[in-house]
Amino acid sequence: MNHSNHAAPPAAAPANAVPPRLSGERRNSAAKWSLSTIAEADRAAILGKKKWPQHVAALAATLTSLVGGAVLGWTSPVLDELHLMGPSGSWVASLAPLGALGGAALSGWLARWAGRKPLILALVIPNVAGWSVLVAASGNIDMLYAGRLLTGLCAGAATVLVPMYSAEISEPAIRGTIGVYLDLSLTVGILMAYVVGGLAGQVYLSGLCGALSLVAAITFFFMPESPQFLVVKGRRAEAEDALRWLRTGSSAPTPKVAKYSSAATPPFAGSHRVDVSAELDAMTRLAVESEERERASGGILGAVRGLCGEGSVSPTSRAVVLVVMLMALQQLSGIDAIIFFLQSIFKKSDSSLEPMHSTIVVGSVQVAATLVAALLVERAGRRLLLGVSGSLMAASLAALLVYFLFHKELDVDLNAFSWLPVSCLSAFVFVYCIGFGPLPFLMMAEFLPLEARSWGCGLAACVNWSLMFVVVRVFNLLMNNIGEAATFGIFCAICILGTLFVLTLVPETQGKTPAEIRQYLQDREIHTVTRRVSTPGGVV
């Protein structure tokens, strides 16, 4: 760990010392905690740990993202209901990503100072306001624009805050599964928009989303703040209570762990007596290291200088490049343009199914695929799922390209293959949701170190939403000017490039400690990071 040139070497901390607050006298006065000492205590503490509180807290946080998914799926049934086509329909669709861009930028900056939980709770205000405006719009184009901007702002903020919160509350063994919950909630929200919007109409859909925003805020109110954030702010007592609940389901104080030999009986095994001080001390030590790295590297300006060739390229700079590229490839695959205009695509394809029924089929496939991803992510690994996802997305779009080429360009009668568009788009959505859908957001929190997580997540989400705005805005222009076959051909080529990028440059992060991931980024060595067994402290 690098120290400031003006700091005296700190004295070794006694075994029973309490780490100094990280706010106030933090940095140079912070004690250095031995991971070997922490590991001895952790052997006993881990015996009584429970995982369900982490799942409950993560799911409560992602309820806000469920409403964000409805923002994405809203246009597919509603534009047709309100007969909004052409430029006005395109703007109604694309203003949500534009609002999300602002939400992502603001939340990434504010999360470092205000915390994760308060900001997630605060989203209820613009969320309810935005959906209320949409309920009252009744086709008024200006009100539709305002409502879409407000609801988009909340959706964008959620894609920054929820991954940060989920990563910081979860243990490495279940970090992947919990990270997929964000995309699961988005896909459930999209399906809800397809079903409710198609069957009941825009007013009922918007009213339901406004009510769900309130339910999400009330539910998440009872969840703890991220213990890692509390440690960074020097609120150790609060961090200990939050961490104990996340690991045991109880916040009652527990006795200290006594040292014991491997042959001895552990001093306690009940979950209500689990000691979390070992993991908390690891968070403290790593938070101190993170602050010193930030001071040495110059933060965001240092990362930018490294990328511009001024000085050495830091691991943080490489992490930002990887995350931004994954986000860009996710959006440039065309997924959200397809989701936004799904009914219009099915109308143009002359599919044998009704457009509304086809969208519900695709939405159901999304949810099912995300559930599969949650089961596979800790078994198959991130890199394999991304590679399979990208290659099969390209294959699905290639089949759709051929269909539109023969059906529209060459005017071949394909009534016998009218089932193909639904099948191709369902396959495309399915393989997207097992890889390129959930994993960029999960890996964003894994790659970015603690000192760069707030601004790095904000930057990555801004890239994601700005490209979504561009793709959604130009999608209809491309379809009308160069044709369906050429449009899907562009997306197919990008999926191929994305697959090559993943297979050549993206490392595996499954089960890796933050230090191991950072070591890869430092050495530029691919696939040489060793698998961890157990490390306290979670993602930092």
Question: For 289-296, what is the mean pLDDT?
Answer: 72
Is the predicted pLDDT of residue 468 greater than 60, yes or no? yes
Tell me the three state secondary structure of residue 396: helix
pLDDT tens per residue, range 475-504? 888 988 898 899 999 999 999 999 999 999
State the average pLDDT over residues 89-99: 89
Classify residue 219 by burial, with Cβ atoms within 10 Å: 0-12, 13-18, 19+. middle
pLDDT in tens, 422-456: 888 889 999 999 999 989 988 888 888 877 887 88
Question: CB neighbours (10 Å) of residue 474?
Answer: 15
pLDDT at 512 over 90: no
Lowest mean pLDDT among 39-48, 153-162, 207-216, 307-316: 39-48
Q: In the prediction, which pLDDT does 259 show? A: 39
pLDDT-derived band of residue 299, with 50, 70 and 90 as boundaries? low
Rounded Cα distance between 429 and 362, Å, is 7
> What confidence category does residue 352 fall into, taking pLDDT thresholds of 50, 70 and 90?
low
Q: What is the pLDDT of residue 526?
A: 37
Taken in order of first residue, the domains within the chain and their CATH numbers are 49-252 (1.20.1250.20), 296-531 (1.20.1250.20)
Q: Are 341 and 358 in contact (CB under 8 A)?
A: no
Amino acid making up residue 536: P
Summarize pLDDT for 155-211 with one digit per residue, the tens. Answer: 999 999 999 899 889 888 888 889 889 989 999 999 999 999 989 999 999 999 999
User: Worst-scoring range by mean pLDDT, 121-130, 249-258, 315-324, 437-446?
Assistant: 249-258
Which tokens go with 339? 């989701």
Q: For residue 267, is pLDDT > 60?
A: no
Q: According to the model, what pLDDT value does residue 280 have?
A: 87
Residue 11 confidence (pLDDT) above 80: no
Coil, helix or strand for 200?
coil
Say which residue the tokens 């699961």 belong to: 184
Name, in order, each residue with C-beta under 8 angstroms of 476's C-beta and a sequence gap of 6 or more: 89, 90, 341, 344
| Integer angstrom CA distances of residue 266 from 41, 261, 487 | 10, 9, 63
Sign of CA dihedral 174, 177, 180, 181: negative
Distances (CA, A) of 207 to 195, 264, 317, 468: 14, 60, 43, 25
Gap between the Cα atoms of 259 and 40, Å rounded: 7
Residue 407 tokens read as 């059906």
Does position 41 have pLDDT exceeding 70, yes or no? no
Q: What integer is the mean pLDDT of 334-352? A: 78
> Which DSSP category does 125 fall into?
H
Q: Is the pLDDT of residue 363 over 90?
A: no
pLDDT category at 509 given cuts 50, 70, 90 is: confident
Is residue 35's pLDDT more than 60? no
Task: Give the pLDDT band of residue 351 (cuts 50, 70, 90).
Answer: low
pLDDT at 128 over 90: yes
Q: What is the pTM of this model?
A: 0.74
- For 436-492, the DSSP string reads TTTHHHHHHHHHS-GGGHHHHHHHHHHHHHHHHHHHHHHHHHHHHHT-HHHHHHHHH
Burial class for 416, CB neighbours closer than 10 Å (0-12, 13-18, 19+)? exposed
Cβ pair 311, 46 in contact under 8 A: no
In this prediction, residue 377 carries a pLDDT of: 86
Matching residue, tokens 């490049």: 321
The pLDDT assigned to 9 comes to 44
